[in-house]
Amino acid sequence: MLTGLINAGGMFHRMGSGALTLCYVAAGQLVGYVEPLINAWDCLAALCIIDEAGGRTSPFLQEFGVAGTGPLVAGAPGTYEALEALLP
C-alpha cells in the first residue's frame, strides 16, 4: 500500500490517532486517509464529521456496523477514487 502511495506521488503521514487524522481530512488539512484495518469506535464520529464537511468515505458503518473492524478510505471529493485504489 505504501509503495503504491509513494509511486502515485503521495505522502505518508501517521499521527497515531485515526479519529484525529480523519478530522484533519474533514477540515481540509489532509486530502485523504487510508487504513487497512480500523475499529468502529476509532472512526464513526469522524466519518460523520467528514460527511457533513462534504468529504467522501467508504461505507464502513454499513459493512462493519457499530462494533466492527475493517478497511476505511476517506477523502476529499476529487481524491477518493485514487485513495480507494491503494487498498489491497
How do the domains of the chain map onto residue ranges? 2-84
Class of domain 2-84: alpha beta
- pLDDT at position 66 is 93
Give residue-wise pLDDT tens across range 11-43. Answer: 777 778 899 999 999 999 999 999 889 999 999
Query: Does residue 2 surpass a pLDDT of 80?
Result: no
Q: How far apart are CA 80 and CA 57, in angstroms?
A: 8
